[in-house]
Structure 1
Amino acid sequence: MAVTTDNLAGAFIAARRGHKLVDIATLPVPADVDAGFAAQAEVNKGMGYPLAGWKVSLGEGGRPMAGLMQGPYLKSGDTYRGVHGAELRVEIELAIRLGRDMPLRPGQPYTREELIDHCDAALVGIEIVESRIADWTNVPFPLWLADAMGHGGYLLGPEVPFSIFDDVPALTCTVELDGDVLYDRQALHANGDPLVTALAWANRSVEGPLGPLKAGQIITTGSLCGGVLAPTVGPVVARLDPVTAISFALAEQGD
């Protein structure tokens, strides 16, 4: 197990430092989800990433999953630079920012209301999905988890009322790339209420190697539009109507 974790973490660290992709055929696959978490933690440690944020989801059997979002954290108007040849996807999301620590509370799970009470802001966000794996069409989930579930970067949009979580279907997601509309549909979250995933992570049974939930961290709750593939780089406008539009650009390293 240790050899697999060390080899896998080393491959991802080298890819991140060298701004390169890794052939999936050369990567050892973690034995299970726990090994995937362990490898992800080793990558974060090796890169010296801050514990700045989380992307969360529910795995098989409803088990909470997470990838650390190390950044870059961008704002509207900025440029995200991906690795040459990487597949980039755009996800319109809702996020929360913790205003207080949320230590594990075994036997006394947090409620949705308590989760909101621990936050000091709700925000619109755009996640850029960019895996370090060259072809991640059929990636085993523990390997995907080791790569922080493909997290590339995150654009922080405006703060919004927490009531936005109560009626997601009232929103519309639109993604335009260089003037072409790639996506234009009603907002939809896989779990209905986007806060389900964040609450599940706050109520996980053990802290695990990724660390605790701390004040100031961002938790992004999952896509409202799936993963919209960007067929090329260029200027992007992502809209969550009627709330906001976020403009940014996709480019390759060195452009």
Structure 2
Amino acid sequence: MTLEILTSDLLSPLRHGFFTRRGGASSGIFDGLNCGYGSSDQSEVVALNRKRVADAMDVAPEAMIGVHQVHSPEVLTVDGPITGDRPKADAIVTATPGLALTILTADCQPVLFADPDANVIGAAHAGWRGALDGVLEATLAAMEALGAKRNNVRAVIGPSISQRAYEVGPEFLDAFIAESPNNARFFANGQDDRLQFDLPAFGLNRLRSAGVGQAEWTRHCTYSDSDRFYSYRRATHAKEADYGRLISVIKL
């Protein structure tokens, strides 16, 4: 099976892609294009999957830059391949041609950024914690430090868990209301005291409020489409031992 790569007109002409799980070499619960070394999948199979992604992006595997994601607002600025252990961060920016920035997700938001006029790109992992703590705004600030203009940045949120699949408790709402009462609009009532949280809408609001020129969500739900996407929450509900990681990439 060939790779399936979702793209956005907003990010053209830059090469980029939100890769689905189709076309990979992993098997079992990881069936497909699992690109996460942090999973319990065979490391040589993950390396093969990542090589297929690198080939699709027309870069060497070592030119695909990733970080050790920890649900933080930390941003790494890079000008070349990373040697040794990956730094702990949740976003990456660069103005160096030939580098491909990568983010791994399995329900959280992968967000790809580009200012094509300034030749500056970024990639962020924005789960609820990182988004609430400001990782998207921090990514934009780091891009500006490299010469990007905020109102010229395009940002695209890739496959993420949708509101209908994201059930949370009242204490979750409290964390958002503590930041701003306006955040209540991203929650809908569910069963009993449960609520449904709209993560992509929250991400889009943060991006637009931060002044990006254009922003969109691809409208793909990771939880609801098991044939195309990995999902941490779906794997947890199915009591599976682990889950695969999707990769999203943008290249300058």
Task: Pick the TM interval, shorter chain.
Answer: under 0.3
More helix by share: 2
Q: Per residue, is there more strand in 1 or in 2?
A: 1
Q: Which has the higher contact order (CA 8 A, sep 6+)?
A: 1
What is the TM-score of this pair, normalised by structure 1? 0.27
Instruction: Normalising by structure 2, report the TM-score.
Output: 0.27
